[in-house]
Structure 1
Amino acid sequence: MQEHMLSTPVYQNVHDFQIQHGKTLFLLQLSQATVIQDIQQKIQDVDVENLYIFHDSATWGEQLHTVISQHLNQALAGWHAVICGDEHFIWISDAALRQAGLLRDEIARVLIAGKRQVYCVHCFHMQSSTAKDFCQCEDCGVDLLIRPHFSERLGAYMGVCANAESRGKPDIKEVSHV
């Protein structure tokens, strides 16, 4: 019998993840210095040349893809990755690593509180949000309830209309047949 799949992501605690044998690529988002210090202390004896800290800027996505392609395009078997950051950073990094050939089990994800992606199921707009339960879609203006359902493919939580019952029904006009 197949085990039930949960739709919310599972993250590792920074103190619990284990360094794997082989090469490890560390991708860290600079948002909480104490967490980065914990990771740097944990890995001080291994792979420090493969440690990259990304500052919050408009170009971190481009920098991330460059780092991943430099390390993994010519890599042999045995590479692992540790991603540490907010959910937005984690899932963009995860997608890039998996596109480069890493498997799900070769990637450790360590969550630091911050932004996460919300996908509006009404207009298909993707936006970053720090809200836990509710936000408003930047594109269509619908008040969204942020569901606990998470799409790894999109790297986002599903946002559905929070007040559907009060939005009224659309005008339906009768069509007379001639």
Structure 2
Amino acid sequence: MSATPPPPAPIASRPRYARLQTRRCGAALMVADKSGAAALLALADDAPELMSKASVVLCDAAEHAPALQARGAARLLQTSSTAGLSPAIATLLGDARMGLQVFLAGAEGLIAQVQSQLLSAGVPLGAIQAEHRGTAARRMQCVHCKTVAEDVTVDPYICPGCGRSLYVRDHFSRRVGAFQGVCIDAETPGEVPESVEIRI
């Protein structure tokens, strides 16, 4: 009798998420979208003392701002889309102090974008926590033309930059903050499987 082969090992670069945990810090940066705001509220309820050190950025989540302000957030910025995240975070990083801890919550695309910016700014990976909430939509980079697409929910996916049909790999680039997409029919042009919904 032959043994059943073990399942393939998960790709090491694939992000893994957990519930946000309280950490001792000199300052805190919290970023969330509409889906992730509940995670920040839960963290604030678990560790109310953290909020007096917290600069919070909400992305398209204005309805959660009053609750976070009521919990004592030191500073609260809002943006209506992910395009506004980068300048808001750059502003807060300009005022950052030693001992900064970062708490991210929401869709994978938001987490990936913000984490990439933080790492580029010199924030160590060990100081960043992320809790995934909401959609399985991914931020994806085409390895051929380097176009970055937001909210990719199907695989294969047509690249908006070069038009190739891309296999959306589980390989994740922290530097770019995106999953990698490679041409799915490079060896067999025109043979593209039907798109399926991406699952976590």
TM bin (shorter chain): 0.7 to 0.9
Q: CA deviation at 1:49?
A: 4.2
Give the alignment partner of residue 34 of structure 1, picking from 35, 38, 49: 38
Does residue 156 (structure 1) correspond to residue 181 (structure 2)? The answer is: no
SS in 1 for 2:87: helix
Larger Rg: 1
Q: State whether structure 2 residue 91 is matched by structure 1 residue 87.
A: no
The code of the aligned residue for 1:69 comes to: G
Indicate conservation of the 8 Å contact 2:105/2:132, yes or no. yes
Question: In the TM superposition, what is the alpha-carbon distance from 1:124 to its structure 2 partner?
Answer: 1.7
Q: Secondary structure at the match of 1:158?
A: strand
Report the alpha carbon displacement of residue 147 of structure 1 after superposing the two structures with TM.
Answer: 0.6
Answering whether residue 44 of structure 2 is matched by residue 22 of structure 1, we say no
Alignment of 1:103-114 (within 5 A): 103-114=124-135
Against the structure 1 CA distance between its residues 68 and 132, is the aligned structure 2 distance closer, same or farther, given a 3 Å change threshold?
farther
The TM-score with structure 2 as length reference comes to 0.68
CA RMSD after TM alignment:
2.5
Is 1:69–1:100's contact at 8 Å kept on the other side of the alignment? Answer: no
Give 3-state SS (helix, strand or coil) of 1:40's partner: helix
Query: CA 1:150–1:94 in 2, change beyond 3 Å: closer, same or farther?
Result: same
How high is the TM-score relative to the length of structure 1?
0.75
Q: Which consecutive residues of structure 1, in runs of 5 or more, have no partner in the other structure?
A: 169-178
Residues 45 and 159 of structure 1: CA distance in aligned 2, closer, same or farther (over 3 Å): same
Aligned partners of 1:30 and 1:36 also within 8 Å: no
What's the CA shift string for 1:44-101, capped at 9, x where partnerless?
2323341403223242221121112222xxx23x222212222232233223333443
Q: Which runs of 5+ in 2 are unaligned?
A: 1-10, 61-80, 192-200
Partner SS state of residue 167, structure 1: coil
Aligned length: 158
Q: After superposition, what is the alpha-carbon deviation per residue over 1:148-172, rounded to whole angstroms, capped at 9, x for unaligned?
A: 111111111111122331338xxxx
Q: 1:47 to 1:111 in 2, by over 3 A?
A: same
Partner SS for 1:46: helix
Task: Give the secondary-structure state (helix, strand or coil) at the position aligned to 1:67.
Answer: helix
Which string of whole-angstrom CA distances, capped at 9 and with x for unpartnered residues, describes residues 21-61 of structure 1?
A: 22241322222243343233223232334140322324222
| Distance in 2 (alpha carbons) for counterparts of 1:121 and 1:97 | 22
Of 102, 109, 120, which residue of structure 1 is paired with 2:142?
120
Pick which of 45-54 and 105-114 moved more: 45-54
Change (3 A) 1:100 1:155: closer
- The answer to whether the 8 A contact 1:84-1:109 is kept is yes
- Residue of structure 2 in register with 1:174 after alignment: none
Shift of 1:132: 4.8
